[in-house]
Amino acid sequence: MSFSCEITINGFKSDQTLTDGSEFVIAKNEHVVVTILIDLNKEKRDFDWKFNLVDRSAKLEVLVKSQLNNNSNLKGNLTINHTAAGSTAHCTFLTSADNASRVDITGSINIQKNCPHVSSRLSMKGLLLDSKSSIKQQPLLHIQTPNVQCSHGSTISSIPASQREYLQTRGLLPQTYKRVYQQAFLQNDFR
Protein backbone atom coordinates (compact mmCIF):
# COMPACT_ATOMS: atom_id res chain seq x y z
CA MET A 1 0.00 0.00 0.00
CA SER A 2 1.56 3.28 -1.07
CA PHE A 3 1.86 6.57 0.73
CA SER A 4 0.72 9.84 -0.76
CA CYS A 5 3.84 11.58 -1.93
CA GLU A 6 5.38 13.77 -4.58
CA ILE A 7 8.87 13.00 -5.80
CA THR A 8 10.77 15.32 -8.13
CA ILE A 9 14.19 14.74 -9.64
CA ASN A 10 15.94 17.89 -10.81
CA GLY A 11 12.59 19.67 -10.83
CA PHE A 12 10.76 17.05 -12.85
CA LYS A 13 8.01 14.93 -11.38
CA SER A 14 8.99 11.28 -10.99
CA ASP A 15 6.70 8.26 -11.35
CA GLN A 16 8.28 6.54 -8.39
CA THR A 17 5.95 5.62 -5.57
CA LEU A 18 6.53 5.22 -1.90
CA THR A 19 5.44 2.05 -0.14
CA ASP A 20 5.91 0.83 3.41
CA GLY A 21 9.46 -0.32 2.67
CA SER A 22 10.88 1.82 -0.15
CA GLU A 23 14.56 2.36 -0.87
CA PHE A 24 15.89 5.11 -3.11
CA VAL A 25 19.25 5.80 -4.65
CA ILE A 26 20.22 9.39 -5.30
CA ALA A 27 22.89 9.30 -7.95
CA LYS A 28 25.22 11.66 -9.75
CA ASN A 29 23.88 15.15 -10.40
CA GLU A 30 20.49 14.26 -8.98
CA HIS A 31 18.57 16.68 -6.75
CA VAL A 32 15.68 14.71 -5.34
CA VAL A 33 12.83 16.30 -3.41
CA VAL A 34 10.39 14.00 -1.64
CA THR A 35 7.26 15.36 0.01
CA ILE A 36 5.22 12.79 1.91
CA LEU A 37 1.74 13.46 3.28
CA ILE A 38 0.33 11.06 5.85
CA ASP A 39 -3.24 11.63 6.97
CA LEU A 40 -4.53 8.92 9.27
CA ASN A 41 -7.98 8.65 10.81
CA LYS A 42 -8.55 5.51 12.90
CA GLU A 43 -5.71 3.86 10.98
CA LYS A 44 -2.39 2.21 11.62
CA ARG A 45 0.60 2.52 9.27
CA ASP A 46 4.22 1.45 9.44
CA PHE A 47 7.11 2.51 7.23
CA ASP A 48 10.79 1.79 6.68
CA TRP A 49 12.37 4.11 4.11
CA LYS A 50 15.98 4.32 3.02
CA PHE A 51 17.64 7.00 0.94
CA ASN A 52 21.17 6.31 -0.29
CA LEU A 53 23.29 9.19 -1.59
CA VAL A 54 26.00 7.61 -3.70
CA ASP A 55 27.68 10.57 -5.39
CA ARG A 56 29.23 13.83 -4.20
CA SER A 57 26.77 15.78 -6.33
CA ALA A 58 23.76 13.96 -4.90
CA LYS A 59 21.25 16.16 -3.05
CA LEU A 60 18.19 15.08 -1.13
CA GLU A 61 15.35 16.97 0.53
CA VAL A 62 12.69 15.02 2.38
CA LEU A 63 9.63 16.51 4.03
CA VAL A 64 7.29 14.20 5.92
CA LYS A 65 4.03 15.80 7.07
CA SER A 66 1.84 13.59 9.22
CA GLN A 67 -1.49 14.29 10.85
CA LEU A 68 -3.05 11.58 12.97
CA ASN A 69 -6.55 11.63 14.38
CA ASN A 70 -8.89 9.34 16.28
CA ASN A 71 -6.75 6.61 17.70
CA SER A 72 -4.36 6.36 14.76
CA ASN A 73 -0.93 4.86 14.97
CA LEU A 74 2.21 5.62 12.95
CA LYS A 75 5.45 3.77 13.44
CA GLY A 76 8.53 3.86 11.26
CA ASN A 77 12.13 4.47 10.38
CA LEU A 78 13.66 6.79 7.82
CA THR A 79 17.34 6.33 7.10
CA ILE A 80 19.60 8.58 5.06
CA ASN A 81 22.86 6.93 4.06
CA HIS A 82 25.74 9.03 2.82
CA THR A 83 28.19 6.79 0.99
CA ALA A 84 29.82 9.58 -1.00
CA ALA A 85 31.85 12.54 0.15
CA GLY A 86 30.24 15.92 -0.36
CA SER A 87 26.66 14.69 -0.64
CA THR A 88 23.88 16.80 0.89
CA ALA A 89 20.64 15.94 2.63
CA HIS A 90 17.97 17.82 4.52
CA CYS A 91 15.13 15.94 6.20
CA THR A 92 12.19 17.38 8.15
CA PHE A 93 9.40 15.61 9.98
CA LEU A 94 6.29 17.58 10.94
CA THR A 95 3.95 15.38 12.95
CA SER A 96 0.69 16.19 14.69
CA ALA A 97 -1.38 13.84 16.80
CA ASP A 98 -4.91 14.27 18.13
CA ASN A 99 -7.57 12.17 19.86
CA ALA A 100 -5.46 9.46 21.43
CA SER A 101 -3.14 8.89 18.47
CA ARG A 102 0.37 7.52 18.83
CA VAL A 103 3.53 8.15 16.87
CA ASP A 104 6.84 6.31 17.16
CA ILE A 105 9.34 7.35 14.50
CA THR A 106 13.08 7.28 14.11
CA GLY A 107 15.14 9.33 11.71
CA SER A 108 18.75 8.28 11.12
CA ILE A 109 21.63 9.91 9.31
CA ASN A 110 24.51 7.55 8.54
CA ILE A 111 27.73 9.00 7.21
CA GLN A 112 30.02 6.17 6.13
CA LYS A 113 33.80 6.10 6.33
CA ASN A 114 35.78 8.23 3.93
CA CYS A 115 32.90 10.62 3.29
CA PRO A 116 34.16 14.04 4.31
CA HIS A 117 32.38 17.29 3.44
CA VAL A 118 28.94 15.76 3.76
CA SER A 119 26.23 18.18 4.86
CA SER A 120 23.21 16.55 6.43
CA ARG A 121 20.39 17.89 8.60
CA LEU A 122 17.54 16.14 10.37
CA SER A 123 14.74 18.04 12.10
CA MET A 124 11.76 16.46 13.83
CA LYS A 125 8.88 18.59 15.12
CA GLY A 126 5.86 17.16 16.89
CA LEU A 127 2.57 18.75 17.91
CA LEU A 128 0.33 17.15 20.51
CA LEU A 129 -3.25 18.33 20.28
CA ASP A 130 -4.66 16.43 23.22
CA SER A 131 -3.43 14.87 26.43
CA LYS A 132 -4.17 11.29 25.35
CA SER A 133 -1.95 11.37 22.26
CA SER A 134 1.76 10.58 22.32
CA ILE A 135 4.69 11.27 20.06
CA LYS A 136 8.01 9.51 20.33
CA GLN A 137 10.55 10.74 17.81
CA GLN A 138 14.19 9.88 17.80
CA PRO A 139 16.79 11.55 15.60
CA LEU A 140 20.00 9.51 15.34
CA LEU A 141 23.39 10.32 13.87
CA HIS A 142 26.02 7.72 12.97
CA ILE A 143 29.09 9.58 11.78
CA GLN A 144 32.16 7.61 10.74
CA THR A 145 34.10 10.40 9.06
CA PRO A 146 35.52 13.63 10.41
CA ASN A 147 35.10 16.95 8.64
CA VAL A 148 31.35 16.84 8.04
CA GLN A 149 28.45 19.16 8.84
CA CYS A 150 25.69 17.27 10.53
CA SER A 151 22.86 18.32 12.80
CA HIS A 152 19.75 16.86 14.32
CA GLY A 153 16.97 18.23 16.44
CA SER A 154 13.70 17.17 17.93
CA THR A 155 10.92 19.19 19.57
CA ILE A 156 7.51 18.13 20.78
CA SER A 157 4.97 20.57 22.12
CA SER A 158 1.32 21.27 22.55
CA ILE A 159 -0.23 24.59 21.47
CA PRO A 160 1.46 27.26 23.62
CA ALA A 161 -0.95 28.94 26.02
CA SER A 162 -0.30 32.42 24.62
CA GLN A 163 -1.17 31.34 21.08
CA ARG A 164 -4.16 29.30 22.23
CA GLU A 165 -5.54 32.25 24.17
CA TYR A 166 -4.93 34.58 21.24
CA LEU A 167 -6.94 32.34 18.93
CA GLN A 168 -9.65 32.03 21.56
CA THR A 169 -9.92 35.81 21.87
CA ARG A 170 -10.69 35.76 18.16
CA GLY A 171 -13.70 33.56 18.89
CA LEU A 172 -12.24 30.20 17.91
CA LEU A 173 -13.57 27.18 19.77
CA PRO A 174 -11.20 24.29 20.59
CA GLN A 175 -12.05 22.22 17.52
CA THR A 176 -11.38 25.23 15.28
CA TYR A 177 -8.25 26.58 16.90
CA LYS A 178 -6.72 23.11 16.96
CA ARG A 179 -7.43 22.68 13.25
CA VAL A 180 -6.14 26.15 12.42
CA TYR A 181 -3.00 25.72 14.49
CA GLN A 182 -2.34 22.26 13.07
CA GLN A 183 -2.61 23.61 9.53
CA ALA A 184 -0.22 26.42 10.40
CA PHE A 185 2.20 23.95 12.01
CA LEU A 186 2.21 21.74 8.92
CA GLN A 187 2.89 24.77 6.70
CA ASN A 188 6.25 25.35 8.27
CA ASP A 189 8.18 22.93 6.03
CA PHE A 190 11.86 23.65 5.96
CA ARG A 191 11.98 26.59 8.40
Q: Which helix (H) or strand (E) holds 47?
A: strand 44-53
- In this complex, which beta carbon is closest to other proteins, that of residue 23 or of residue 165? 165
Query: What are the phi and psi torsion angles at 95 (to 5°)?
Result: -130, 130
Near other proteins by CB under 8 A: residue from 4, 151, 188, 190: 188
- Closest separation in Å from C-beta 190 to other proteins: 12
Using rule CB under 8 A, residue 181 touches other proteins: yes
From residue 159 to residue 178, the character string flagging contacts with other proteins as x (rule: CB under 8 A) and all else as - is -x-xx-xxxxxxxxx--x--
Q: For the chain, how many residues are written?
A: 191
- In this complex, which beta carbon is closest to other proteins, that of residue 47 or of residue 177? 177
- In this complex, which beta carbon is closest to other proteins, that of residue 151 or of residue 166? 166
Q: State the Cα–Cα distance between residues 87 and 13, nearest whole angstrom.
A: 22
DSSP letter at 20 equals: T
Using rule CB under 8 A, residue 153 touches other proteins: no
Near other proteins by CB under 8 A: residue from 21, 151, 157, 184: 184
Q: State the Cα–Cα distance between residues 69 and 71, nearest whole angstrom.
A: 6
Q: Collapsing DSSP states into helix, strand and coil, what is residue 186?
A: helix
Q: State the Cα–Cα distance between residues 36 and 99, nearest whole angstrom.
A: 22
Determine how many CB atoms are found less than 10 A away from the CB of residue 167: 19
- In this complex, which beta carbon is closest to other proteins, that of residue 70 or of residue 187? 187
- Closest separation in Å from C-beta 43 to other proteins: 25
What residues make contact with other proteins under the rule CB under 8 A? Answer: 160, 162-163, 165-173, 176, 180-181, 183-188, 191
